[in-house]
Every structure is written in C-alpha cells, then in structure tokens.
Amino acid sequence: MTRATALFALLLTVATSAWAQTPPTPPRPPDAPQPPRPPRPPREGRDRDSRHEVTDHQVHKLAIGRNGVLDLANISGDVVIQSGGGDEAVVEVTLRGHGETPEAAKEQLGLIYVDVTKGASRAEVRVRYKEHERRGRRNYNASADYRVTAPPDTRVTVHSVSGDVQASRMKGELSIESVSGDVTIDSSTRVSTAKTVSGDVDLTGIASEGSLAASSVSGDVSARGLKASRLELSTVSGSVELHDVACDTAEIQSMSGDVQYIGAIGRQGRYELQSHSGNIIFAPGSGVGFDVEATSFSGDVRSELELKLRASDPDETWQGRRNRKRSIRGTFGDGSAVVELTTFSGDIIIRK
Amino acid sequence: MTTPCEAFSASIGELADGTLAPAERGRVEAHLDHCASCRALLADLEAIHREARQLPRAEPPAALWTRIAEGLRTQGVSDGGGANPAHPGNTKWWLAAAAAVVVLIIGGVLASQITRRGVTPETPSSSTPPANASGNADATGLVESVEADLEAAEKHYERAIAGLEKIASADERSLDPQVAATLKKNLEIIDSAIAESRTALRSEPQSAPARESLFEALRRKMSLLQDTIALMNEMRKGNQAGTAQILEGLQKS
Amino acid sequence: MGPSKVQGREAEAALVERCRRGEMGAFEELYGAYAGRLYNVACRLLGNPADAEDLVQEAFLQAHRKLDTFRGNAALGTWLHRLLVNLGLDYLRSRAGRTAHATAGMEDVNVVPFTRPETVAERIDLEHAIARLPDGSRAAFVLHDVEGLDHKEVAAVLGVSEGTSKSQLHKARLKLREMLRQ
C-alpha cells in the first residue's frame, strides 16, 4: 500500500464507520495514580507472517555539510536518529521482507526500495513501494528500519506512517510526524514539531528557543525537562503531563485526559490549560505572580496557593457556603502572568 | 412470487383504515371468510392503528418557545412592544466571530478537499442557509446569532462528513484499521463532549463554561479532521503515483 | 388538519400575513397552534426529546424565513409538517452513519407468512417498534397512524404520490407487526 492510499483509506474508514456515541470516561480524582497503559497490539503489516525474514541492509553516506537538511520518509518501520560528527549524514536502512516461506519473504522484499535524492546541502531518503508490482495487491509484508547518524546541526524532518521515531542529541531543527507510533525525543535543542495520531509523544531534556508543537490523538504527551518560548500541546484521549517545564506561552489541551503543568512560568507569560472531562493540575513553582481564572462546569476548583480572590459572582465567594467551588478568579503575588484553567467536568487544583 | 394472501395484503391494510373502495371490499371480505391468517392480519393492523392513535402525547417544554423567540429576534421579528434584544456581552463577540470561522473553515476546507477529488458533498434539499455572521454589517444580528451559528456550524460539519462518506463509498479499499479505529474512537469522545456541553447549555443557557466548552469541542472536532486531511496531503506529496491511482479510482466510480 | 385555534384558510392566511409583517405575537399564535403536533412528530421521528426540540426550533425558524414562499395552496399545517419532516429526515441521514446500528438489519425484516394468527394488541410495545422502523416508513406511519393525517396530507408532507405514501405506510405496519410478534 502506498502511504497516500493508507491515509486516504484511513480517513474513509473514519468517515464510513458507525459513530456510536460512547459515554465519556468519568473523571479520575486528580491525585489518583495513572493506570498502566496497556501494551499496543502489534502493528498491521509488520509482525505477521514473520516466520521467514529476508533483509537488505543499505548504507547511504550523504555529504550535506554541517548545517544541511535531511528529509526522511518511511511507511512501516522504526526510525532512530542520533547526532554524530563530521559533515556527512549516514543513513542506514534495513529493508525487511516477511513471509511464510523464504521465497515469499524475498518476494516481499522485492516490493520495496530506497529512493535517495541528494543536493549540495540537502538530501531526501524515502522508502517506496514498487507500484507496478504491487498493483492489485492488498497486503504487503515489507518494512524498513532507519538508523541515522547526522551532524548535530542538521535540520531533520521525518514523516512516518507506521513505526516509532526516536531522536537524540540533535541541535538542528527537528520536525517529526508519525501516524501510528511513538515519537520520542531527548537531549535536543530545537524541536519544532512532534506529532503522532496513535502513539505517545515523549520529550526529555529539550531546551528549545523557539516554539514547540506536540500532539497526539489517542496517546499521551509527556515531558520532563522542557524549555521553549511557546508550547502548543494537545491530545484528544490521552493526557498531557509536564514536569520541570518552563515557557512564556503555553496552550495545552486534552479532551478526556488530564492536563498537568509542573514547572516555571514567566512574567508577562500566558498559560491556557484545558480539558473537557480530565483534571487540571497547575503547579507554578517559580514564585512568579499570576492572575488566574479557573473554571469547571461541574467539577471542583481549589487552590493550595493563597490567592487574593476577586468575587466573580456575589453568591460565589471563596469563603462561600461550601468549600467546593466551580470557579476561582484571583491573583497570586504581583499577578504578572495570565493563567486560564478550564475543564468541563474535571477538577482543577492549583498547587504550590 | 406472490402468494394469494400477499396479493390481499395491501387491500387488508386499506380495509383496516376504512379507505378500501366499496368495489374491492366484497372481494377482500370473501377472501377473509375462508382465510384465518388474513383475518389475523386484519385484526393486528386494526390493533396497531388503534394503539397508534392512543399513544401518549408529549407537551413541548415551555423553554422551547423562548429559544425560538430568541432565534426569531435574530431573524428580525419585532416584539411589538419594542423590547430590545438582550444587550450582548463582550465574550459573545468573539464567540460569534469564532463560530463564523468554524462555519467557513468547515464549509470551505472540507468542501474544497472533497471537490478536489471530483466528488461534491451532498447538499440536503432543505439545508440551513450559511450562518449570517460573516460579512454581515448588522452587529446586533451577528451577536444574537451565536447559537444559531453554532448549530449551523455543526450542520455544516455534518454535511461535510456526508460528503466524505460519499467519497468513502467510491473507494472500498479499507486499510490500516487500527489507526482508523483510533480516529473513530476519538471523534466519538469529542462527540460525547459536544453532546454533554449541549445538554449543559440546555439546562443552564447562560453558563459561559458550558458555552465555551461546546465551542471548544466543536473546534477540536474540526481541528482533528483538518489535521487528518493535512497529514493526508502531506503524505500524498511524497507519492504522486498513489494519488493518481486514487483519483483514477474515484473517476471510474 | 389544522387545530381549532386556526380555523379555515382565511384565518390561516390572515395569521400568515401578520407573521410576514414580523409580528412576534402572530408567530407565537402560530407556534401555539402547531408546536404540540410538530413536537410529537419530531419526538417519534428522531427518537429522543432533545433532538426533537432542536428540530422543532429549526423548523419554526425556517418556517419564518420561508413564509414568503408559503402560497396558501396547501394547508399551513401540511406546509409546516413538510418543513419539519424534511429537516428531520435530513438530520437522520446525516446521523445515519453514527447510528447505523440502530437500524441495522431492518431491511432484512421479512414479511413472513402469518403462521401465528394471534392478536398483538396485548403485547404491544409499539413505541419501541416505531423507533426501529426505517426512516421513510416511520415518517409515513407517524404522520398517518399516530397523528391522523390522511393519505393526501401524508403524501404532500413527504413530497411523494399518494400511492407511495400508502405503500410506505403498509410496509411500516407489516414491519411493526413483525417486530411486535417477535
């Protein structure tokens, strides 16, 4: 299958499917531990019929300079990127054909090939399926794994349909998009995009000066040690959990998962955290003052930080009849940053 | 193949209604005289007819007229007493504008995606006209039409989906079921959020959180679809041959 | 089929004229006269009160926008029912993908020979069975058997011939009978 066909079909399947309404997950108490994530089933087309495997290992040495651009595309298989020295990117591709018999596996292997286009400072490496041979064929059982070592300042773009993508210790701009698979990035400085549809996005030790957009549809977006001027993070059914985070602007959204921001905020910064049925935990530990508006339609809102409250509604003051509140408007310290926390049915906690 | 009883079936229905022509009546009654199963059919149809007329009737809720009256004011019906429509708050402004954007984006982006493939989304015969929020100089109408716009936005969205379904029927290749299932499940989650927000808004029409939640959920739904399409386009760039194949398939159908 | 509040074509025409002039009071009168019937049709057509409310609201708003196209050659009630049913069926079509399970297999309900000649009256769960009818024949059944419109009116509301309306109704009743016998 071509990537275009795969994605096209994916949309079609979505459009044609019966969209039964499912009740939303009831909100979990904000302090409850995360349930363990069930292991993802093996991906279609990669792990079946693998009694026999035939591989073809190729090494492409691409002299693109220290600040070159590397554009990678894969359909099925994992991609691992690491920084290396020199001014040459080394792209090792292992093509794999699987089948019930060695012949079948070999036939599968024959269906894919690596397409390399190289310029002075730019190279594109794509794994393609041979159209004329796969015509009429519905199933393929071939994949390709990438192992890339590139000069640290290389700008790397990855598009993957099915497979995990991992990048480590890169300094050039990184943009990674996968459809089905995890995106994992660590110890890198200029991450601009990390997106997947069904998979997790995991960021560790990222110190990006620019803005960073990370998203999943069904997976979690999590970060430990994350600095950026602007963060745009979203998921639909997963959660967003940020530890040791620092940024000037954050727009963070989940639909049914929790949103957690633990870290520093900046003066004049703006932070919008939002979930529909998940809880929101906001812990701005840096001592910077902020003005907060926290609203839940049916959940509770509480603050462990001492806020100077503005009564938004005469009947609803902080010292009101109940300790349970649906909304808080108040100021901490000098109120220099702006914080908006919104959930429909979850709880909101502002932590010390 | 038609059995003798099946041939009488429609006439027995009319007999149960009392609308059977007198000329026919004799013939049908003659058959009934010696056919127990057709007598049972007549008895059942009469019972169904009788029961149907006695089904309990529901009263529309009082709030329904209030909602309609609000909508009518938007459409320019005067109160007679010259009462002014509720003065718009500031937040309603951006909601109105945003709702208009939703309508435009949904209507535009998705429709263009669809027509690019040579398939036009089906337009229902009694469709709601496009929201009046865009380019409308009547500021009061604009603000007042927020709810109508949100509803219109959803309708446009549903129409766009109908268009996608049409494309779907044109291409039967069904691939990558896991990712498709993921998207489906997550669209359902958003649908639930939309439904919840709507219910909340119905019980507390003035609730800003409920209103914003509804709008946010609609926006997320749109954005998920847009992202999927953008991703699709992105991937298509990488493989012209595949695209050609898809288009070829569509034109054939 | 007009309820007692709006008697005759002349009274209807006068009311419509006042609505056209933008009198809220006139429209409220129109609403009062027809909302109950339309709401009941909407409830049974869509299967739930929340959607029914939305449908009635949309139908009245659309009626107001389209009043100029009401020519008076049909009864006002028929015209309003037609707006509502068209909108409702459109809505059901767009919802069809999502609720395909609700009507899945309905087309397979066969009108089997009547082997158990017993009356269904005492084991009627009619409301439930109506909800499981295919959209088109459900509309015909609700309008004719529940609401009491005659075939001519049903045909006008559905925009089909009287013959088609009759046959849809008959199909609906046979399917209901089949469901109720199960």
3-state SS, chain B, equals CCCHHHHHHHHHHHHHHCCCCHHHHHHHHHHHHCCHHHHHHHHHHHHHHHHHHCCCCCCCCHHHHHHHHHHHHHCCCECCCCCCCCCCCHHHHHHHHHHHHHHHHHHHHHHHHHHHCCCCCCCCCCCCCCCCCCCCCCHHHHHHCHHHHHHHHHHHHHHHHHHHHHHHHHCCCCCCHHHHHHHHHHHHHHHHHHHHHHHHHHHCCCCHHHHHHHHHHHHHHHHHHHHHHHHHHHHHHCCHHHHHHHHHHHHHC
Residues 13-72 of B with CB under 8 A from C: 13-14, 19, 36-41, 43-45, 47-53, 55, 57-61, 64-65, 67-69, 71-72
Q: Across the interface, which of C22, C36, C151 has its CB nearest the CB of B77?
A: C22
Higher-pLDDT residue of A168 and B226 is: A168
> Residues A340, A282: contact at Cβ < 8 Å?
no
pLDDT number for residue B227:
62
Q: What is the pLDDT of residue C51?
A: 82
| Region B126-144 average pLDDT | 37
What percentage of chain B carries pLDDT values higher than 70? 44
**Average pLDDT of every residue of chain B:** 61
User: Which residues in chain B are closer than 8 Å to A131, comparing Cβ atoms?
Assistant: 241-242, 245
Environment class of A262 (CB within 10 Å of its CB; exposed 0-12, middle 13-18, buried 19+): middle
Interface partners of chain C (CB pairs < 8 Å, 3 or more) are: A, B
Phi then psi dihedrals of residue A322, to 5 deg: -110, 160
Only one residue has tokens 């000069």, namely A151
Q: How far is CA B125 from the centre of its chain?
A: 12
**pLDDT the model gives residue A67:** 92
Nearest-10 crossing angle of helices C49-66, B62-74: 40
d(CA C61, CA B89): 24
Interface of C with A (CB under 8 A): 97-101
Predicted complex ipTM: 0.79
CA distance A14 to chain C (A): 10
pLDDT band at A281 (very low <50, low <70, confident <90, very high): very high
Look at A4-18, A186-200, A221-235 and tell me which has the smallest mean pLDDT: A4-18
Quick one: which of C181, C76, C174, C71 has its CA closest to C122? C181
- Å from C16 to nearest chain A CA? 40
Fill in the amino acid letter for B78.
S
Residues B126-135 as b or e (16 or more Cβ within 10 Å = b): bbbeebbbee
Q: In a structure prediction context, what are the per-residue pLDDT tens digits for chain C, which is 182 residues long?
A: 544 445 677 888 888 888 888 888 888 889 999 999 999 999 899 887 778 888 999 999 989 888 888 877 678 889 999 999 999 988 888 766 443 333 333 332 222 222 232 334 333 478 888 888 988 889 999 999 999 998 889 999 998 888 888 889 999 999 998 888 76
> Which chain A residues are closer than 8 Å to C101 by Cβ?
18, 20
DSSP C112-175: ---------GGG--HHHHHHTS-HHHHHHHIIIIIT---HHHHHHHHTS-HHHHHHHHHHHHHH
Consecutive H or E run containing C41: helix C24-46
> Which residues 6+ apart lie within 8 Å of B1 measured at CB?
none
Which residues have C-beta within 8 Å of that of residue C182, sequence separation ≥ 6? none
What are the C-alpha distances in Å from A171 to residues A82, A185, A192? 10, 12, 11
**At residue B69, does pLDDT exceed 90?**
no
| Phi, psi (rounded to 5 degrees) for A87 | -125, 35
Q: Can you read off the two tokens belonging to residue B163? A: 């268009």
Please list the helix, strand and coil fractions of chain A in percent, rounded to the nearest 5, in that order.
Answer: 5, 50, 40
- Min Cα distance B221 → chain C (Å) is 15
pLDDT of residue C70: 83
Chains linked to B by 3 or more Cβ pairs within 8 Å: A, C
What lies within 8 Å, CB to CB, of A80 at 6+ separation is A145, A146, A147, A148, A165, A166, A167
Residues B4-32 have pLDDT tens digits of 688 888 889 888 888 888 888 888 988 99
Rg (Cα) of chain A, in Å, rounded?
A: 24
Place of tokens 């409301």: C127
Identify the CA nearest to C37 among candidates C1, C68, C12.
C1
Task: Indicate yes or no: CB of B187 within 8 angstroms of CB of A14.
Answer: yes
| Distance separating alpha carbons of residues C81 and A57, to the nearest angstrom | 70
Q: Do C98 and A20 touch (CB under 8 A)?
A: yes
Is the pLDDT higher at A189 or at B212? A189
Predicted TM-score of the model (pTM): 0.54
- Rounded Cα gap, residues A239 and A301, in angstroms: 19
Residue B48 banded pLDDT, cuts 50, 70, 90: confident
Average pLDDT, integer, range B223-244: 51
Q: What is the pLDDT of residue C54?
A: 86
State the pLDDT at residue A324: 52
A337: amino acid identity, one letter: A
Contact assessment for residue A31 and residue B197, using Cβ atoms and an 8 Å cutoff: no
Q: Do the beta carbons of residue A258 and residue A275 sit within 8 Å? A: yes
3-class SS of residue C33: helix
Question: Rounded to an integer, what distance in angstroms lies between the CA atom of residue A127 and that of residue B231?
Answer: 18
Look-up: residue for tokens 């309404």? A21
How many CB atoms are located within 10 Å of the residue C87 CB?
24
Q: pLDDT of B158-189, one tens digit each?
A: 665 555 544 433 333 333 567 667 777 888 88
Cα B18 from Cα B168, distance rounded (Å): 46
CB atoms inside a 10 Å sphere around CB B91: 12
C86 CA: distance to closest CA in chain A (Å): 23
Q: pLDDT category, A77, cuts 50, 70, 90?
A: very high
Regarding predicted confidence, which is higher, C50 or B153? C50
